A and B are shown apart, each in its own frame.
Chain A
Amino acid sequence: MRHFEDFVVGETIDHGTRTVSADDIVAFARQFDPQPFHVDVDAPETASLGGLIASGWHIATIFMRMMCDSFLLDSSSMGSPGIETLKWVQPVRPGDALAARSIVIDARASQSRPDRGIVRFRHELADGDGAIVMWFENPVMFGRRP
Chain B
Amino acid sequence: MSAFDAITVGERFEFGSYDFTAERIKAFARDWDPQPFHVDEEAAAKSAFGGLIASGWHTAAVMMRLQVDYFRDRGTARPRFGVSPGFDDLKWLKPVYAGDRVTYSGRVLAKRRSQSRPGMGIVTTEFSGVNQNGEPVFEVTAHVMVSVD
Contact = CB atoms under 8 A, between A and B. Distances in A.
A80 B92 contact: yes
A56 B90 CA distance: 14
A83 B90 CA distance: 5
B83 A55 contact: no
B86 A33 contact: no
Given A57-B64, A81-B91, A68 B86 contact: no
A34 B77 CA distance: 10
A32 B18 CA distance: 12
Identify whether the interface residues of A are mostly helix, strand, loop, or mixed.
mixed
Contact of B90 (A43, A49, A86): A86
Contacts of A21: none
Interface string B90-101: 111001000000
B109 interface: no
A88 B65 contact: no
Contact of A86 (B31, B32, B62, B87): B87
Contacts of A78: 47-48
Interface string A58-96: 001110110010001100011111111111100100000
Contacts of A32: 61-62, 64-65
Interface residues of A, number: 35
Nearest to B139: A82
Contact of B35 (A37, A57, A68, A82): A68
29 contacts: A31-B61, A31-B65, A33-B61, A33-B68, A34-B65, A35-B68, A37-B82, A37-B83, A45-B82, A56-B84, A57-B57, A57-B64, A60-B60, A62-B32, A64-B55, A65-B31, A65-B34, A68-B33, A68-B34, A73-B34, A78-B47, A79-B56, A81-B91, A81-B92, A82-B56, A82-B91, A83-B90, A85-B87, A86-B86
Interface of B: 31-35, 37, 47-49, 53, 55-57, 60-62, 64-65, 68, 78, 80, 82-92, 95
List 5 A-B pairs, minimum CB-CB distance, nearest first.
Answer: A87-B86, A61-B32, A82-B91, A32-B61, A83-B90
